[in-house]
């Protein structure tokens, strides 16, 4: 039977090896035998178990252990008490408790004279992030200032300060910080920085510089837009992303760079954001994304780009200005790629555009099908089904601007699928 001290010591050894789950179990054993531990060792056992849990993503459980360690603060050195507050602040931050995290980081600052410059710079940066998440961009900027004073080569602090300045519309100042990050980050660890600089350049009306940065950013990280758009509410990138989607011209600029890089699955993400803007440029941009050549090129990305054509055709379907010829072309391209989706969309077309002459659209469809080199991919029964669908609908038609329940469900399912990429 091992003693509490032996379990504690073995837990520390495993912790140093990165075996956090095994270390947690040994800390458990030591704490179960806490009458055998000194108060000081018990405080450190709670603190270290909290760290082990934190490393495993058990943030709520880690917070509770840090609580226990802080309750025994008289047994901790001032420096270690500062670390306990700091680590509890991180655990709260990871749970989205930004205000509570900020208060713990405030406690760290009360003990800052006990910390090394490097650790204090980290604490300022982390408090800055907690403030940033609460929308306190100016206060966050000041914390990043302090971190940079302590460590002038702290790339993360420059990166975060650049974002805080961007959120305050200080675009040139943000560019200066992004430049610092790029100079310090030889390994491209901060892969969003070039992209971020491009966004700030766009708002400084330096379109050429913005385009160049966007293209460079997509060479560094081809999945950058997917990563950014998958960021969850509360993540560092979420508020930043939300600020991007409000500007149609910025989205068009980003989309052009994606188009040039042949990154069609990510272009579709931007095209979706452009859809609600409801203007000709937005629809044309979505058309580029949905183009048949884009389908073929995008197969290398293992992405269901076929929905791009599906969605584009439907957006054109509810657009008063689109012609029968426009709709027919999209339907035919979809038919060649995915006959099943083609039939679904054609049915929606007929129900949502009752003003379109059924004979006219069939004539256009038939002509378009004759010009498609892959016509052999379409089975005879599909043409028969088209003819049946062109008969007057037996159910009430929907208004031109209203989506059917089925279509709403379809679009929702597609959107969920796309965001799993």
**Of the candidate ranges 128-137, 343-352, 370-379, the one whose mean pLDDT is the lowest:** 370-379
* Per-residue pLDDT at 81: 92
> 410-414, long-range: CB within 8 Å, 24+ apart, which pairs?
410/344, 411/311, 411/314, 414/304, 414/307, 414/310, 414/311
Highest mean pLDDT: which of 146-160, 245-259, 274-288?
Answer: 146-160
Is residue 49's pLDDT more than 60? Answer: yes
- Model confidence pLDDT, tens digit, residues 80-95: 899 999 999 999 999 9
**Separation CA 152–CA 172 (nearest Å):** 20
Give residue 164's pLDDT. 94
Q: What is the pLDDT of residue 106?
A: 95
Question: Can you give the chain as a three-state secondary structure string?
Answer: CCCHHHHHHHHHHHHHCCCHHHHHHHHHHHHHCHHHCCHHHHHHHHHHHHHHHHHCCCHHHHHHHHHHHHHCHHHCCHHHHHHHHHHHHHHHHHCCCHHHHHHHHHHHHHCHHHCCHHHHHHHHHHHHHHHHHCCCHHHHHHHHHHHHHHCCCCHHHHHHHHHHHHHCCCHHHHHHHHHHHHHHCCCCCCCCHHHHHHHHHHHCCCHHHHHHHHHHHHHHCCCHHHHHHCCCCCCCCHHHHHHHCCCHHHHHHHHHHHHHCCCHHHHHHHHHHHHHHCCHHHHHHHHHHHCHHHHHHHHHHCCCCHHHHHHHHHHHHCCCCCCHHHHHHHHHHHHHHCHHHHHHHHHHHHHHCCCCCHHHHHHHHHHHHHCCCCHHHCCHHHHHHHHHHCCCCCCCCCCCCCCCHHHHHHHHHHHHHHCCC
Instruction: Quick: pLDDT tens for 382-391.
Output: 555 555 544 5
Residue 214 has pLDDT above 80, yes or no: yes
Q: Is the pLDDT of residue 31 over 80?
A: yes
pLDDT range class, residue 326, cuts 50, 70, 90: low
350, 396 contact by CB (below 8 A)? no
Enumerate the domain spans of the chain.
279-421
At residue 408, the pLDDT reads 41
Please tell me the pTM assigned to this model. 0.71
- Of all residues in the chain, what percent carry a pLDDT higher than 90? 36
pLDDT higher than 80, residue 292: no
Task: Write the CB contacts of 75 (distance below 8 Å, at least 6 apart in sequence).
Answer: 38, 39, 40, 42, 43
- pLDDT-based confidence at 409, cuts 50/70/90? very low
Residue 150 CA to residue 127 CA, distance in Å, equals 15
Mean pLDDT score of the chain: 75
């Amino acid at each position: 039977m091992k003693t509490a001290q032996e379990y504690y010591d073995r837990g520390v050894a495993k912790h140093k090896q990165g075996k956090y789950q095994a270390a947690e179990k040994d800390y458990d054993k030591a704490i179960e035998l806490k009458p055998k531990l000194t108060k000081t060792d018990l405080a450190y056992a709670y603190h270290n178990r909290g760290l082990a849990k934190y490393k495993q993503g058990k943030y709520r459980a880690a917070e509770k252990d840090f609580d226990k360690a802080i309750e025994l603060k008289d047994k901790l050195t001032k420096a270690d008490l500062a670390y306990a507050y700091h680590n509890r602040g991180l655990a709260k931050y990871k749970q989205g408790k930004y205000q509570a995290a900020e208060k713990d980081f405030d406690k760290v600052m009360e003990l800052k004279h006990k910390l090394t410059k490097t650790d204090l710079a980290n604490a300022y940066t982390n408090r800055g992030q907690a403030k940033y998440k609460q929308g306190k961009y100016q206060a966050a900027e000041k914390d990043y200032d302090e971190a940079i004073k302590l460590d002038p080569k702290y790339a993360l602090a420059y990166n975060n300060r650049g974002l805080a300045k961007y959120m305050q519309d200080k675009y040139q100042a943000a560019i200066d910080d992004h430049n610092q990050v790029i100079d310090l980050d030889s390994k491209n660890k901060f892969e969003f920085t070039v992209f971020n600089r491009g966004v700030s350049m766009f708002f400084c009306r330096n379109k050429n510089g913005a385009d160049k940065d966007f293209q460079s950013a997509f060479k560094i990280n081809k999945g950058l837009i997917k990563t950014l758009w998958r960021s969850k509410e509360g993540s560092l990138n979420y508020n930043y992303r939300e600020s991007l989607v409000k500007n149609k011209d910025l989205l068009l600029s980003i989309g052009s760079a994606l188009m040039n890089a042949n990154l069609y699955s990510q272009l579709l993400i931007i095209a979706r954001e452009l859809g609600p803007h409801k203007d000709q440029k937005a629809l044309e941009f979505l058309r580029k994304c949905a183009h048949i050549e884009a389908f073929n090129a995008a197969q290398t990305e293992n992405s269901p780009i076929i929905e791009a054509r599906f969605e584009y055709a439907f957006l054109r379907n509810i657009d008063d200005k689109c012609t029968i010829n426009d709709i027919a072309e999209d339907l035919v391209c979809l038919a060649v790629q995915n006959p099943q989706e083609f039939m679904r969309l054609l049915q929606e077309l007929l129900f949502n555009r009752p003003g379109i002459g059924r004979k006219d659209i069939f004539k256009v469809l038939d002509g378009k099908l004759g010009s498609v080199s892959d016509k052999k991919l379409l089975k005879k029964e599909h043409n028969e089904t088209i003819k049946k669908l062109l008969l007057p609908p037996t159910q009430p038609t929907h208004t031109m601007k209203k989506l059917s329940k089925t279509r709403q469900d379809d679009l929702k399912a597609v959107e969920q699928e796309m965001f799993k990429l």
